[in-house]
Every structure is written in structure tokens, then in C-alpha cells.
Amino acid sequence: MKRRVSMMVGLSLALAAAATVGGAGAMTATAAPAFTGASDAVVTTMVHDLGLTKAQAQQRLEQQATATALEPAAQKAAGSSYGGSWFDPAEGKLVVAVTDARAAKTVARTGAASVVVARTAAQLNSAKTAIDNLARKQKAPAGVSSWGVDLQSNKVVIDVRADAAGDPAVRAFVAGAERGDTAEAVTVKTTAAARPTTLSAGTVGGDPYTSHGIRCSIGFSVHGGFVSAGHCAQGGAAVYGWDGSYVGNFQGGTFPGNDYSWVNVGSGWWTVNVVLGWGTVSDVLVHGSAVAPVGSSICRSGSTSHWHCGTVLGMNETVNYSQGSVYGLTETNVCAEPGDSGGSFISGDQAQGVTSGGYGNCTSGGETWFQPVNPILSAYGLTLQTS
């Protein structure tokens, strides 16, 4: 079955919601292509959700594309003193953290700004991995929401619900995380937010699909199918499109630990490099999967709450869902709601990932984490649809 969307006629479920995977014909993108202009969909939503003018939104996207392309060279220039990098929207530049002031001069020659910090990115990641290992040995209590590297503070931040901060199990987990050589790298932040949850729903989901009694959203088209969230999957289960017709079957899926899956497409359905704009904005074409730095603006398409934009807050974070911990997620302040699971996260025309879970909603606001797309492509040997 086919349906009409604003950019082309007869888009299938898999193509219509092909919103979030990335890998411009390859498993991993190494640099962003030259910026050729943003679609009206991305600019319009950034104006609405980020409070920017149209000119400011277009300028930010140009600056982000430059920062994304610059990041590999700037990281190489920082060498062993590399402490991470992020996009600074106020300055419109890539910022690189270094532990050696001499490396800052080398980084400056690439065109990036720099800041001197106490710990390298490798040290921060090591501290974060130690907490992951602790959680594998003793399941993190429900009062611990998530943990991950905060590059700008040069710390590993553990998010603890304010109403559970005094819980003995929470205090014991935090004490274990603050033990050892990396103790000074760890800090605790309390939050009033509820525990993050996955965003699938029982007949809920860019475009929706249903399978084994739940509804989720398509992430991105790949050659031969589409990718989505792992918590939406059931091995071999049949998948049905927005119109109820048979699309294909789950070919793989993993959750918790990771949160990704993929579905093969057949029976008259086909794939294109499109993220659905839901009629309120033009559909967006996906042209690659270069990773946008922390601080970049990012947009999400899902079948429940449709289009929303925000900012990348952190990468390589661990989220403690009730079903178990999921590692390597990216944190954003983009809202989402049940049924948006698996849907697309995109920055400019570059696929970023598929919606995993979060807290809040699109009325009061909230935060959402996504599973980066390039690891999904690599895990299953898939190629992102980019034309």
C-alpha cells in the first residue's frame, strides 16, 4: 500500500517515516558534506521550538555543519590531551577541550576554539565505564535516572531523582560510583523529573507501524528495510504499516543494553531517504549520518507528537529504564510522547538516531534520549538510504 506525502507520491511506511538513521552509503560517517541549505521543515521547526528567526536558524545550521566537518581535524590536533568537543551556539564555533595549554595553540590553527580542562575524554569515558560495570554487577536502583559524560563540566554526572536522593540503595550506588581512581571525575545532580520510560505504547508510534500489539515509529530507511527502537521489537514478528497492510518482519532487535532493531520491507513497500513532516512542514531528505556535536540543534519526527526541535545535551549516556540499563545513548531536550519510540532524530540533513525514551511530554516539556544510528548500521551491516 502507498500513501501521499508532501514531497513525493506513494511513499511507503518505511520511507514516509525514514527519519533517524545515518550512514551516507556507509556504516560510519567521518565528516559532514558541504552544507547546501536546510529544508523548510527543519528551519520552520527551529524557529518555533528554539525561538530563533529564520535567518538565525539558517545561520546556526551552517555553523553546525562547519563544526561537524571540522571536528575530526580538531580532535587530531588535540592529540592525547583531547578532552571532548562541542558546538557553542553563542559563538557559532566548535569548542575543543584539552588538558595541555600547548595543544590549545595547535587546535586554534584548525579554526576551532579551545578550553583547558583537568581530564581527558579517555579518562571521563573510563570513569563512566566503571559506573556501567557497577550497574551490571548490582542493578542500579530506580532512584538513579541516568549517568553520562558532561564534556562542558569535564565531569561524569549521575542524575538522581530528588525524591529518592536519601534512599539507602541510591546512596550505596552513588558511593560505589565515587570510589577509586576516578572518584574526582564523578558528580551527582538531583532532578525533579520522573524516571525515564520507553515511548512505545499498546496500539500506538516519522510514520507509525504496529507489531505484536504495540505501535512505534519508523526511524530511517536503509537498503532493504528500516531501523527503529529495540524495545519495539519481537524476534521474527510481522510488522504492519499505517494502513494495516503487511510490511515485513523484525530481522533483529536488542533491548536493554542497546535499543535498536531493523525490519525488512517487501509486499509492495519500498524505501526512500525521507523523514515525514506531517503536513505541517515539508518532508526532509536524509543525505548522511555525520554526528552532530553536543550543543547542536536537532529535530525529531514521531507518529504521536510529530515534529519538535531542541538541542543535543550529552552523548554516551546510560539510561536506567525499569527493564534494565541502555548504554551509549544521546541526551536531548526535545520532547516526545508514547508511540514516538523508534522515530527519527535528524540535524540538518544528517540522520542522528532513533528515539529510545525519556520523561515529560510535548505540553509541559521534557527530555528524550536516542540510540545513535551509526552503531545500528554497523551492528546489522546495513546501509542508510541517502538517495
Write the pLDDT tens digit of every residue in 46-60. Answer: 888 888 899 999 999
pLDDT higher at 30 or 200: 200
Write the pLDDT tens digit of every residue in 214-230. Answer: 999 999 999 999 999 99
Q: What pLDDT sits at residue 117?
A: 96
Write the pLDDT tens digit of every residue in 258-313. Answer: 999 999 988 778 888 888 866 666 778 899 999 999 999 999 999 999 889 999 99
Q: What crossing angle do the helices spanning 40-50 and 54-78 adopt, rounded to 10°?
A: 90
Domain spanning 13-35+198-380 has what CATH number?
2.40.10.10
Q: Give the residue numbers marked as catalytic.
A: 231, 259, 341
- Phi then psi for residue 171, to 5 deg, are -60, -40
Extract the C-alpha cell encoding 261: 532493531
pLDDT band at 42 (very low <50, low <70, confident <90, very high): confident
